[in-house]
Amino acid sequence: MPNHVSVSIVIPVYNEEKNLQIMRERLLPIMQGLGKSFEIIFIDDGSSDNSLVMLKEFSQNEYIKVVELTRNYGQHAAIMAGFSVCRGDIVITMDADLQNPPEEIPRLLKVMEDGNYDVVGTIRKGRQDSFLRILPSKIINMVARKITGVEMHDWGCMLRAYRRKIVERMISCHEHATFIPALATVFGKRVTEIEVSHEERYGGKSNYPLPKLVNLQFDLVASFSDFPIKLIMYGGILLSFLGVCFGIVLAVARLAYGASWAAEGVFSLFAILFVFVGMQFFALGVLGEYIGRIYAEVRKRPEYVIEKIHSAKGKE
Ligand code: UDP
Ligand code: MG
How is the chain split into domains, by residue range? 7-212+302-310, 227-299
Ligand 1 centroid vs 250 CA: distance in angstroms? 54
Query: Which ligand 1 atom sits nearest the alpha carbon of residue 73?
Result: 8
What span, in angstroms and rounded, lies between the C-alpha atoms of 244 and 92? 56
Candidate CATH numbers 3.90.550.10, 3.40.50.1820, 3.40.50.300, 3.90.600.10; the one for domain 7-212+302-310: 3.90.550.10
In this prediction, residue 103 has a pLDDT band, given cuts at 50, 70 and 90, of very high
Higher-scoring residue by pLDDT: 42, 127: 42
CB of 217 closer than 8 Å to CB of 140: yes
Q: Give the chain's largest Cα–Cα span.
A: 93
Of the listed ranges 2-11, 12-21, 275-284, the one predicted with least confidence: 275-284
Q: Would you say residue 129 has pLDDT above 70?
A: yes
In this prediction, residue 185 has a pLDDT band, given cuts at 50, 70 and 90, of confident
Q: What is the mean pLDDT of residues 54-69?
A: 96
Q: Would you say residue 261 has pLDDT above 70?
A: no
The closest residue, in CA terms, to atom 1 on ligand 1 is 75
Helix (H) or strand (E) holding 204: none
3-state helix, strand, coil in the chain (%, to 5): 55, 15, 30
Whose CA is closest to 38, among 76, 82, 13, 3?
3
Nearest ligand to the C-alpha atom of residue 20: 1
What span, in angstroms and rounded, lies between the C-alpha atoms of 241 and 248? 11
The closest residue, in CA terms, to atom 2 on ligand 1 is 75
In this prediction, residue 130 has a pLDDT band, given cuts at 50, 70 and 90, of confident
Question: What residues flank ligand 1, with Cβ below 6 Å?
Answer: 12-14, 16, 45, 72, 74-75, 78, 95-97, 99, 156, 206-208
The closest residue, in CA terms, to atom 5 on ligand 1 is 75
Per-residue pLDDT at 306: 94
**Mean pLDDT over all residues of the chain?**
85
Per-residue pLDDT at 199: 83
Higher-scoring residue by pLDDT: 261, 59: 59
Testing ligand 1's pocket by substitution, the residue of 16, 97, 160, 180 carrying the most ligand atoms inside 8 A of its CB is 97
Testing ligand 1's pocket by substitution, the residue of 159, 207, 212, 214 carrying the most ligand atoms inside 8 A of its CB is 207
In this prediction, residue 314 has a pLDDT band, given cuts at 50, 70 and 90, of low
Per-residue pLDDT at 308: 95
The closest residue, in CA terms, to atom 8 on ligand 1 is 74
Q: Would you say residue 228 has pLDDT above 70?
A: yes
Q: Would you say residue 209 has pLDDT above 60?
A: yes
Nearest ligand to the C-alpha atom of residue 72: 1
Q: What are the tens digits of pLDDT across the range 17-46?
A: 999 999 999 999 999 999 999 999 999 999
Per-residue pLDDT at 69: 97
